[in-house]
A = this chain, B = another copy of it.
Amino acid sequence: MAASVRDVAQLAKVSVGTVSNVLNRPDKVAPATVERVHRAIDELGFVRNDAARQLRAGRSKTIGLIVLDVRNPFFTELARGAEDEAAANQLAVILGNSDDDSDREAAYLDLFEEQRAHGILITPIGDVTERLERLRAHGTPAVLVDRSGADSGFSSVSVDDIAGGYLAARHLLEQGRRRIAYIGAQFEIRQVADRLEGARRAVTEVDDATLEVISAEGLTVLDGRRAGERILARPATSRPDALFTVNDLMAVGVLQALVMTGAVRVPDDMALVGYDDIDFASAAVVPLTSVRQPSRLIGSTAVSVLLEEAADPSLERRTIVFQPELVVRASSVRH
């Protein structure tokens, strides 16, 4: 049905080798011939068969990216960065969504392995290092994203969450706040624990400052709102004067609870800082101070590292850690 190089060669009256050269190294072919071959390609509507090309090449032109949750803007931005960098190297990115499910994660690894992916970027859930090592032995390198790979034997690109937590808390302290509360959940997640750790460090640097830890059910808007309601239920004197939430979704929830009753003014009575700097953050009722991560840069850097390792597998593993940045808005600064 579909035309092949053979058909093109025949129509253009050249050999298949020449057609291939026109496709891949046009400078090695006489201009007139290039022209003739192109005409034949157009006439036949020829489109390269990627499967055959891959078979010959032994490796696909695709990078597999497995993220935890495509609904999280952090990951879509990361994916976008990866895509851009990959495209600059004539590669495509296939996005897999593990949804925090290690079976789905494994299924995507199977797929990428069968496809002989050029490389794999992954935010691992289950214990996949063994799996990844086998892949690497078979020529498919992997880079961990948003995870420190220091101990795993893999390169990694991540963000310093301890520094992020420190930034947020120090900012609140600099605004004169002293009774800070950290609102989080699922403290076994590294990010949640690290941000707390960072906040703790900032607080210990100031003599009369205290840090309270408030544990919520989950990490959603609704969980944030519930946490906010619990704080409001306390007598005004025993409430914190500043809140730092583990992510922006929760911060939005907290904000809803505070604004709804009107009992507490933000930032006058209580300052609020979130994390991630999602689009919603700047559009909240009170624009939200937040900690921004260079998500897009993480994606593109991860691809760069991956490609370097693909080109030279003997390269030493690298652990790249980006620094987050504080974005100050109305929710934390008295006017």
Contacts and interface: CB of A to CB of B under 8 A. Distances in A.
A230 interface: no
A205 interface: no
Interface string A81-99: 0010001000010110100
Task: Report the copy number of this chain in the oligomer.
Answer: 2
Contacts of A282: 222
Nearest to A92: B111
A97 to B, nearest CB: 8
A283 B114 contact: no
Interface stretch (A31-39, A46-54, A154-162): A46-54
B260 A285 contact: yes
A47 B94 contact: no
A47 to B, nearest CB: 5
A304 interface: no
A274 to B, nearest CB: 15
A113 B51 CA distance: 11
Interface in A124-143: 134, 138-139
Interface in A34-76: 45, 47-52, 54-55, 60, 70-71, 73, 76
A221 B279 contact: yes
A206 interface: no
A235 interface: no
8 contacts: A1-B139, A47-B114, A50-B114, A51-B55, A71-B73, A92-B111, A256-B283, A256-B284
